[in-house]
Amino acid sequence: MKSYSPTTPSRRQMTVSDYKTLTKTRPHKPLLERLKQHGGRNSQGRITMRHQGGGNKKLYRMIDFKQDRLNEPAKVKTLEYDPYRTAFIALLEYGNAERRYILAPHGLEVGQEVVVGETVPLKPGNRMKLKNIPVGYQIHNVELEPGRGGQLVRSAGSYAEILANADGYTDLKMPSGEVRRVRWDGFASLGQLSNPEHNLVVIGKAGRSRWLGVRPTVRGSVMNPVDHPYGGGEGRTQRGTRKPKTKWGKVTGGRKTRGRRKRSNAFIIKRRK
């Protein structure tokens, strides 16, 4: 984590992730793609997601979540920043000079080899089937459905923990604390994801949020009664409604939002706190 001298009020508390471990090279051009920015608007031009818009221009890096080249060692060429995700990414080069981006685990270094297979050495970055990973190991980029590619545990510093392997399923303790059952034929990558200090970053000033494409948020308590359930009153007043609500009056606190009849509920052993 990098902090600054308080040369201005916004610099006093501001922090950024430490990028010293990253390679000072341009991203691999064939794996870049421009995504259309919508600014939170739908096809009619109406805002359907507030507080989005602006921000610096950025290119999407095509990440290989499947990593389907089995038993072929690949060398780590670069470690790079990705503007579309919180974790860092690594550029792999295979024997035939093909290059692919993957999510970089914490501790991965340039020059190391990464391999995918049914059973591979238990090193960060290697990828193998869940049923062959010993209990207690940390994993990331976990497949929900075998062959579909990693869908779980993909943000900076996160990891799931193997609790048990039995009867065709693996029990995982998720970053949220939830214990979930997943088919053990799926693949998962070993280790904790990179940039574990991301949750400690202090934005510091409004302008930095605008660089990230985040527009200002107005508090409900300073609105008029017609605009928000919290609005109105003389000066700073109480909420005036028993439960916390959205702008449209929908209860947000103390109500479970997960569907009761969702089929995957059967695979949740223990709910998150």
53 conformational bin, left if phi > 0, alpha if psi -120 to 50, beta if neither = left
The pLDDT value recorded for residue 79 is 98
Exposure string (b/e) for 217-246, b if CB count within 10 Å is 16 or more? eeebeeeeeeebbbbeeeeeeeeeeeeebe
The answer to whether 267 and 181 have CB atoms below 8 angstroms apart is yes
**pLDDT at 248 (0 to 100):** 95
Judged against a pLDDT cut of 90, whether residue 225 lies above it is answered with: yes
* Total-model pTM: 0.93
103 close to 63: Cβ distance less than 8 angstroms: yes
Residue located via tokens 């075998």 = 146
Integer CA distances (angstroms), 209 to 41, 50, 52, 54, 162, in order: 19, 14, 10, 10, 36
Confidence of residue 273 (pLDDT cuts 50, 70, 90): confident
Q: CA quadruple 8, 10, 13, 18: dihedral positive or negative?
A: negative
- Does residue 262 have a pLDDT over 90? yes
pLDDT at 229 over 90: yes
At a CB cut-off of 8 Å and minimum separation 6, what does 12 contact? 6, 204
The predicted structure's pLDDT at residue 256: 86
**Beta strands 179-183 and 187-190: pairing type?**
unpaired
Query: Greater confidence, 69 or 273?
Result: 69
3 state SS of 169: strand
pLDDT digits (tens, 9 = 90+) for 192-208: 999 999 999 999 999 99
Nearest to residue 140, comparing CAs of 84, 62, 78, 87?
Answer: 87
**What's the pLDDT score for residue 203?**
95
Q: Which of 67, 271, 101, 256 is nearest to 178 (CA)?
A: 271
pLDDT tens-place string over residues 121-154? 999 999 999 999 999 999 999 999 999 999 999 9
pLDDT, mean of residues 27-45 = 97
pLDDT for residue 62: 98
Q: In terms of Cα–Cα distance, which of 77, 99, 101, 100 is closest to 89?
A: 101
How many whole angstroms separate alpha carbon 160 and alpha carbon 158? 7
Q: Given this model, what pLDDT does residue 16 score?
A: 95
Looking at 2.40.50.140, 3.30.300.20, 3.40.50.2020, 3.90.1570.10, the CATH number of the domain 18-48+55-199 comes to 2.40.50.140
Percent residues over pLDDT 90 in the chain: 96
Going by C-alpha positions, the residue among 142, 146, 170, 172 that lies closest to residue 154 is 142
- What is the pLDDT confidence band of residue 257, given thresholds at 50, 70 and 90? confident
Quick count: other Cβ atoms within 10 Å of Cβ 64? 18
Question: Over 90: is that where the pLDDT of 254 sits?
Answer: no
Residue 149 has a pLDDT of: 96
